[in-house]
Structure 1
Amino acid sequence: MKKNILYGIIGSLLMMMTAAGAMGQDKLVAAEVALGVKKISLGKPDQFTPYGFCDEAPMKGAMEQLPAAKLPFNINDINISITGRGVVVEVPLSDTEQLYGFGLQIGSFNQNRLRKKPIVNDNPLNDLGYTHAPMAFYISNKGYGILINTARYTTFYCGTTDKLTNRQPMVSKDKNGNSVEELYKNDGKAGSSVTVDIPGAKGIEIYVFEGPELLNVLQRYNLFSGGGALPAIWGLGVKYRVKADFNQQRVTQMASYFRTSQIPCDVLGLEPKWQTAAYSCSYVWNNTLFPSPNLLINSMRQLGFHINLWEHAFVSPKSPLYEPLKTKAGDYLVWNGLVPDFADPAASKMFGDYHKETFIKQGIAGFKMDECDNSNLATGTSNWSFPEHSSFPSGIDGEQMHQVFGIVYQKAIYKVYKELNMRTFLDVRASNAFASSYPAALYSDTYVHQEYIRMIVNSGFSGLIWSPEVRESNSVKDLMRRTQTAVLSAQTLFNSWYLEHPPWLQINRDKNNKNELMPDANKVEANIRTLLNFRMSLVPYLYNAFADYRLKGIPPFRALVVDYPNDKKTYNISDEYLIGQGILAAPLTEDADERKVYLPAGDWYDFNNNKKYEGGREYTIKTGLTELPIFIKSGTILPLAKPVDHIAQDTQFQITCVVYGANPVNTTLFEDDGITFNYQKGGFNVVNLSWVNNKGKVKRTGDFKQVRYRVTDWKFVL
């Protein structure tokens, strides 16, 4: 009762706030929409916004378990102005703040003192903000997050501007210009605000997520979005996409290869030619290549494989969906195909229902949703997608549709799986804000390994899942390093859409397709098998990390600064990240056999040799090609499973618990059927693991009647 009264007082006070100088009589309206989350609005916000497409209700019960919220500044100091150009927002910024986020950024990590324009683009480049998943959302190490709820192209000046005011300007030494670099270098004091420019807007909504710590901000955001994603447990295995022109026989042969070679694989992905038309899409099986698709699906299921289909959302005139969607599409074509108006629930349902009846009910476990991230804005010749001035029957325009297209596309497909009580793990090329609950892994046609690592780190700032896929490689070493990174990401994915054989049998594309395998192919295959078995041993740990994401909002993959926001040495580390509660990953690329690793406070153990390191220091480490570049935090009980070649509905994981350090902290495993949403109705167990008096203990609580985890051994590392 006291808490409700407090909310009422806060809400009443916030409702009394007004905006000075904001174009006439418009009032700034603010309200507490959930514990630690405030919404500020001014003017007439757009009809279509990222939060407007979020169907998931905030997990308010979980949010109330977080520490008391607070802001490092007075919320009244956020200034909003509506002008003839649009909306300008100014948010206070202190000298010592570090800023992160803006979606799946590829070219930058710490965003302080940068100009960012998060725009969806199929070729993210430099540090401009162009990305597969643009988000008008940033967070501060001071313990708050600011989300501008807009689908418009928006620019953030992150402490880069100095505004003329009535205050006496600070006198600084002029530059004489000894070089061009010196003239343009921004080496002065950072500006006192983050200024946000939203052209064309007539009003705006701002969501303020409070801490007190950086991790709490992300938890609030993810929980407010409906909780984090919990994919089907088989989705945490290995996914392999076969060559685009494979027929039913070749797919079957590839499946047989994985099982006879004892190489783990749970998902086989079919690329464009599985359907009669791909650019644009027919969504109709190509009966020449796949004469018996249902037979294929069923035979693959018996071998323990799930089938994933490639597609995009542009509807071919050859598709059964073309005529029904013709009046529910944009006024421009893409590859001569319709652009469905997914902002219209009726169009979304029509698209989803077709997939439900034609594919999902037949056993298709997931989709790869391609080409939803716009043409490359950096070149004039890249102009395949619909223009920004497109119009749609719902009223959304082309610019806004581009920004949210990946989200509304995901929603149309994922909604069907939820209706059928089937979990999945999708692939998608674009996303946006409030997508935390979608089990959809982003991917990219870019292929710079160092950038792939940075995208894992950045994904945790925005409620996103990122998969650094493996294709061909420059060398065997490059292949192994890329595979290590894939093993230590949300989804271990090999994309061989243009390779006849797996890349570990021949790294050279031309020779691979000429059936010329490497002389040492068997050795490389064995080494890949070792890494993929490591992945399978981590599945129970990873699944629990995703359960924490779902139920507590804790990102399963996150930057060091998230857990150590007061450690200045973590502020710019973009090539290390935390996995769950006890693992620190420091991937290597082919460029070096060793690298520097910073380990935060506490003691850490090298996973490969159990060597102990004191935290708060930097070390030079070496990791072999068949090892994992990870460190385990002292106090961790790490559950490692005996590897399996796939995860079936009745798979029981045989667990060895490895205890690191003298004072281990109790840990848990999340146990359910792994394939339905029954856990949301209480159909799960929490398996508590503890080490007491030099003895391991297992305690299972919950209503799930089966046993997925059996702890068979304990090991102690001091």
Structure 2
Amino acid sequence: MKSYLLLIVAFCLSLSLSLTAQTIEKVAPGVWKVTYGTPEKFKPSDFKEDPALDALAKMSGNEKPPFDLSTIKFKTTSRGCVAELTMEDSEKLYGFGLQNNTFQQRGLRKEIRVNSWSTGNVGFSHAPVPFYVSTKGYGVLVNTSRYATFYCGTMHKASESINLKEGGNSNVASSTLDLYKPLEKSSDNMIIEVPSEKGMEIFVFEGPTTKEAIQRYNLYSGGGCMVPAWGLGVKYRGKGDYNDAKAVKLAKYFRENKIPCDMYGLEPGWHSVAYSCSFVWKPSLFPNPDQFIDRMDSMGYKLNLWEHAYVFPTSPLFDPLKDKSGNFAVWKGLVPDFVDPKAREIFGDYHEKTFINKGITAFKLDECDAADYKDAAAQWSFPELSQFPSGIDGEQMHQLFGVLYQKTLLNVFNRNNKRTLLDVRSSQAFAAPYPASLYSDMYDHHEFVRMISNAGFSGLLWSPEIRETKSDADLIRRTQSGVLSAQLLFNSWYLSNPPWLQYDYEKNNRDEFLPNAKELESQIRNLLELRMSLIPYLYSAFATYHFKGIPPFRALVVDYPQDSAVYKIDDQYMMGENLMAAPFLDGASKRSIYFPSGVWYDFNTNQKYEGGKAYNIEMSLDQIPLFVKEGTILPMAKPVQYVTPTTVFEITCHLYGKTCKPTLLFEDNSYTLDYQKNQFNWISLEWNGENGKVTKTGKYKVNGYKVTAWIKH
């Protein structure tokens, strides 16, 4: 009898769960939330910034969802919670965060699992995000910190085969590759599984275009990040065991040779203990850190300190955090429970007092993803079964750790009215407001470029850093990719000298320079000066990102979703409104480049290309793969060695085409958050066919730009 009653109770409970109806709520203009069952605790939205509601309200549409949300089917299973959405045959899908080896995602299974290395093409990544957009003009975010799986049209239901009378395959495969090849036609089902939970929360973002769906996601996240102007300059990270004298010597090399550099990064050796971290200067290498900071500041450098969040027992942070950390150690150090506001406060206050107040402008937040899942011996990180005082488990903490780490330190910079640009190795959903650029220990050039395109779908920034290379051409082409990205970063943490003096690792560390080192140095200098010339254009693109949610770097499909030719193009992308980058990979001198609709100008030669076609284009190493849309006024600055609070950029306006649209420049002090108090200007650059006109609108009183010339192309 007891067993019978238990069976009835279990059946009723199962029935009640399966019949639970979803609720639909409009949470912001153009944004809807669909809730089923009891969603998990510790969702990404629990830690997001406030949405940019005014900016969302200014967008067109906002009246009804992009599709009938009641058609989303949910169910709970013994494994967790499942949602099913229907897709049209023509839809293409993009997103899922920092994906390095896939681009168009329909027909693939994506597992949203943070990992320190790519594992196949399933979706493991430094910054996987449970968000995708469709060419039908909508976006979907599953608000989970679990290892969710998205079956993007990969699964055909048995019900589809019941009445199947023909269409089977009678051919015998000749190889395993042929046998297990991808489906010729994907299904119309998007099936999403969130493990271990009895409910799910989904956000749906209206379009009606792909770009507008991304804009709404970024604005609902809080708006795109406003990086400091100096963050768009050049960053150089020195060798990990350098002392103060060697760092200063290298810093002087840049200045004496007129090589632009804004940011200098110290790698692990500055800590007295680095794995895990002491967060204390190593006295044998930096006996007087305050003096060192002042010396670097006097040369115009913004100092960036490497760290990870794991706290060694000798650290001043250990005792305050020992009761606010997980139950497993990493490299013998505590793992702070950043879900707990008090833990974030302790960690942040220490950084404020010890580093930020003394002149440190940024940090590199390393190792905040997870140990490589495919390597059984590489289990340096905390396990999924970890428990934290807040109640979050190890799986959820892995997914959220990077974004919580960013939030912890950015809160300190914000309350000090200082802007920064962090390096970070992991991120998650709703990260668009955080000025942090992702990086990786991986080094495939094509993957690095693909990640520039992919990052823009999910509110992320990516740095295709330069380390050692195989040849002169490889060095130049990789540097060009850096120039054409969110952050230009040379990561020489294991090189004694800059890679353009010697790109071979062993010879570099023996101080054996290339015979053509000075020639390469000159080529690199020219590229870095080009980057400095682009700062006003890029800075204004980031302002548009902040106020309108348009990613400054984005795949061609975002701007041209009706052009099927761009659906698979992962190695070309838009920079701001009017530039298209098409990096040459692995030292190549030729490649095929597709031009979307319109007319495009080669930045180097002014040669024109008609859109809607692909061309085989050859470029020498002194030419950069950059193209300008016809009708553009491109503001180019006279290059400076580094940016200061008083920098005035001297602007030459380059005109492409007989008729040019007005271009806007964003102007503020670029060091503080005063733009949030409307202390900024928009400067309109206009050309009437004969003369240029500069019009300034706003409340900021200091001039950051001086237009000196107009040049027709």
User: TM-score, normalized by length of structure 2?
Assistant: 0.96
Q: 2:173 is matched with which residue: 175, 178, 183?
A: 178
Does residue 211 in structure 1 map to residue 204 in structure 2?
no
In the TM superposition, residue 591 of structure 1 has moved relative to its aligned partner by 4.8
In 1, distance between residues paired with 2:617 and 2:694?
35
Distance in 2 between the 1:267 and 1:182 partners? 50
Aligned-residue offset at 1:61: 1.2
Aligned equivalents of 1:493, 1:591: Cα separation in 2: 18
Corresponding position of 1:479: 475
Aligned pairs for 1:150-299 (under 5 A) are: 150-165=144-159, 169-170=163-164, 171-179=166-174, 180-299=176-295
Matched, 1:30 2:24: yes
Distance in 2 (alpha carbons) for counterparts of 1:167 and 1:489: 47
Alignment of 1:46-85 (within 5 A): 46-54=40-48, 56-69=49-62, 73-85=67-79
Report the 3-state secondary structure (helix = DSSP H, G, I; strand = E; otherwise coil) of the residue aligned with 1:208: strand
- Given that residues 107 and 183 in structure 2 are in contact (C-alpha distance below 8 angstroms), is that contact kept between their aligned partners in structure 1? no
Query: Is the counterpart of residue 384 in structure 1 residue 380 in structure 2?
Result: yes
CA distance in 1: counterparts of 2:172 and 2:330, whole angstroms = 49
Name the CA distance, whole Å, in 2 between partners of 1:261 and 1:160. 55
Partner of residue 5, structure 2: none
Match of residue 320 from structure 1: 316
For 1:689, the equivalent position in structure 2 comes to 685
Asked if residue 679 in structure 1 is aligned to residue 675 in structure 2, the reply is yes
Q: In the superposition, relative to structure 1, how do residues 715 and 319 fare at CA in structure 2: closer, same or farther (>3 Å)?
A: same
Shift of 1:42: 1.1
Contact in 1 for aligned 2:668/2:680 (Cα 8 Å)? yes
| Equivalences for residues 561-576 of structure 1 within 5 A | 561-576=557-572
1:419 pairs with 2:415: yes
8 Å contact 1:44–1:204 — kept in the other structure?
Answer: yes
Residue pair 1:71, 1:212 contacting (<8 A) in 2 also? no
SS at match of 1:142: coil
2:438 aligned with 1:445, yes or no?
no
Listed one character per residue, the Cα deviations across residues 164-209 of structure 1 (whole Å, up to 9, x for unaligned) are: 3388544422343222333322334321211011110111110001
User: Are the counterparts in 2 of residues 107 and 125 from structure 1 also a CA contact under 8 Å?
Assistant: no
Q: How far did 1:60 drift?
A: 1.3
1:42 aligns with 2:36: yes
Q: Distance in 1 between matches of 2:172 and 2:314?
A: 62
Distance 2:269 2:179 in 1: 54
1:128 Cα deviation after fit: 0.9
User: In the TM superposition, what whole-angstrom CA distance separates every residue of 1:596-635 from its partner, at most 9, and x where no partner exists?
Assistant: 0000000000000001111111011122212220100001
Paired residue secondary structure (2:58): coil
The 1-side partners of 2:184 and 2:565 are apart by: 22
Select the residue among 662, 685, 700 that pairs with 2:658: 662
Q: State the identity %.
A: 51
Give runs of aligned pairs for residues 452-467 of structure 1, distance below 5 A.
Answer: 452-467=448-463
Could you list the per-position Cα deviations for residues 617-658 of structure 1 after superposition, in whole angstroms to 9, with x for gaps in the alignment?
101112221222010000111000000000011000000000
User: What letter is aligned with 2:31?
Assistant: V
**1:290-309 to 2 correspondence within 5 Å?**
290-309=286-305
Single out whichever of 160-169 and 190-199 deviates more from structure 2: 160-169
What's the offset of the Cα at 1:71?
A: 5.0
| Amino acid across the alignment from 2:264 | L
Cα distance between partner residues in 2 of 1:626 and 1:189? 44
Q: Note if 1:91 corresponds to 2:117.
A: no
Letter in 2 for 1:177: V
In 1, Cα distance between the equivalents of 2:170 and 2:410?
56
1:111 and 2:121 are equivalent in the alignment: no
Aligned-pair distance for 1:476?
A: 1.1
* Bigger Cα displacement from structure 2, 298-307 vs 355-364: 298-307
Compute the displacement of 1:352 (Å): 0.6
Any gaps of 5 or more consecutive residues in structure 2? 1-13
Q: Do residues 611 (structure 1) and 613 (structure 2) align? A: no
Instruction: Report the counterpart of residue 10 of structure 1 in structure 2.
Output: none
SS of the equivalent of 1:299 reads: helix
Task: Give the Å deviation of 1:44.
Answer: 1.1
Residue 46 of structure 1: how far off its partner (Å) = 1.1
Q: CA–CA distance in 1 between the matches of 2:645 and 2:292?
A: 19
1:443-494 deviations in whole A, cap 9, x for unaligned? 0000000100000000000000000110010111111000000000000000
Partner AA of 2:178 in structure 1: E
Are 1:554 and 2:550 matched, yes or no? yes
TM-score (norm 1): 0.96
**Residue 643 of structure 2 aligns to a residue in which SS?**
coil
Of 102, 125, 129, the match for 2:123:
129
1:178 aligned counterpart, secondary structure:
coil
Q: Is the 8 A contact 1:579 1:585 kept in 2?
A: yes
More divergent stretch after superposition (23-32 vs 111-120): 23-32
RMSD: 1.3
Distance in 2 (CA, whole Å) between partners of 1:387 and 1:167 is: 42
Query: For the residues of structure 2 that align with 1:566 and 1:64, how far apart are their CA atoms?
Result: 26
Q: What amino acid is aligned across from residue 577 of structure 2 in structure 1?
A: Q
2:428 alignment partner in structure 1: 432
Give the ranges of 4+ consecutive aligned residues of structure 1 lying more than 6 Å apart after TM superposition: none
Letter matched to residue 303 of structure 1: M
